[in-house]
Amino acid sequence: MQFNLDEERRLSALGNQRQASAVNVYELDSDEEVVSDSEGEDVVIDAWNEKHRVFKTTDNAYFGGAITRYTEDDDAYNVFLRTGEQRGADQIEAIERLVEDISEVEPNNDVALYRGGSGERGTSGKVFREGTIKAGDVLVNTDITSF
């Protein structure tokens, strides 16, 4: 397999277009602005005084709230879920905010989503292909989600 920069860019643009059409989050009106709340988060307060951490600006920029923090440092969440070791004083509240923010995005299964795996991490799918896991087996995931 050879690297093809033009094809990578084309596929990336297609993926971004699909994502933009599938993601349904709060969109700012032209008279609204992004502000910093008491916790230092970028938020929008709508006309009904509801706070939004996940939103799209009028210039098509997306803000992801806790989703952004999760993608930058998933261990800040997953280590606690795996081991109980807290990485911050408000660990449970941080996880609750992440779950709320993910819920804001809403699911969309219009297209298949594929993700790469790693044999080193045990995420390559080898156990599925070998038949080690059978229908009815209980699987446990120690990560909240995967992006």
For residue 30, the 8-state DSSP code is: T
pLDDT value of position 135: 80
Please check whether residue 107 is in contact with residue 90, taking contact to mean a CB–CB distance below 8 angstroms.
Answer: no
10 has which bridge partners? Answer: none
pLDDT value of position 42: 92
The three state secondary structure string of 104-116 is HHCCCCCCCCCCC
Domain ranges of the chain: 22-129
User: Given phi > 0 = left and psi -120 to 50 = alpha, else beta, which region is 97?
Assistant: alpha
pLDDT value of position 33: 92
pLDDT value of position 142: 64
pLDDT value of position 57: 92
Give the burial class of 144: count Cβ atoms within 10 A of its Cβ; 0-12 exposed, 13-18 middle, 19 or more buried: middle
pLDDT value of position 1: 62
pLDDT value of position 123: 72
- Give the residue ranges of the chain where pLDDT is below 50: none
